[in-house]
């Protein structure tokens, strides 16, 4: 799995131990090229729309999966309605 410079994620703790209990979304794409394009678009949306995203979200590119965690339910719901 590649480490993307724009991942907002703790590589020491790994995904499961990073902010357990937060609201989580995993998006699956069959085409890895599609997931890279969508990852850039979706993370840009997160940066523009989630206030304090560096503190209140975690996200990671994982090949065909894009994984996101949200501290607040309102951000999780908004994300699911937009991308989910």
Mean pLDDT, range 25-54, rounded to an integer = 89
Average pLDDT across the chain, whole number:
88
Q: How far apart are CA 12 and CA 46, in angstroms?
A: 23
Mean pLDDT, range 47-72, rounded to an integer = 93
Which has more confidence, 2 or 8? 8
What is this structure's pTM? 0.85
Mean pLDDT, range 45-64, rounded to an integer = 93
């Amino acid at each position: 799995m590649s480490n993307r410079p724009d991942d907002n994620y703790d590589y020491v703790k790994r995904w499961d131990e990073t902010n357990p209990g937060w609201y989580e979304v995993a998006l699956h794409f069959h085409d890895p090229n599609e997931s890279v394009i969508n990852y850039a678009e979706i993370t840009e949306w997160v940066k523009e729309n989630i206030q304090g995203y560096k503190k209140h979200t975690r996200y990671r590119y994982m090949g065909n999966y894009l994984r996101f965690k949200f501290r607040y339910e309102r951000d999780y719901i908004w994300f699911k309605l937009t991308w989910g």
